[in-house]
Amino acid sequence: MDTVSAIGAAARAQSGRVEALFDDLARCSRTDPGFARASYSAKDIERHAVMTRCAANLGLAVGRDAAAKTAMTRNAH
């Protein structure tokens, strides 16, 4: 299998996980009409929690700075 095909296959294999993540984020952002991202709101805190869980499930290091921005990084081994 060539590299492009392998990348495509890997992406397709993760499509359910990605769709579930976007559904969770949409649930935390939906307004009528459209989507909103009000900073420091209950929904914003919920979105950070969704991303924190996702990052932790992927084995990423998660941190927050003084402004409550969430950062996710690959652990250096």
The answer to whether the CB of 52 falls within 8 A of the CB of 62 is: yes
pLDDT value, residue 66? 92
This prediction has a pTM of: 0.73
Inform me whether the pLDDT recorded for 76 exceeds 90: no
Which structure tokens are listed for 76?
């250096």
Tens digit of pLDDT for each residue in 10-56? 989 989 988 999 999 988 888 888 878 788 889 899 999 999 999 99
Helices (H), ranges, 3-41 = 3-13, 15-27
Helix (H, G, I), strand (E, B) or coil at 52: helix
Domain ranges in the chain? Answer: 16-74
The answer to whether the CB of 25 falls within 8 A of the CB of 38 is: no
Query: Residue 4's pLDDT band (boundaries 50, 70, 90)?
Result: very high
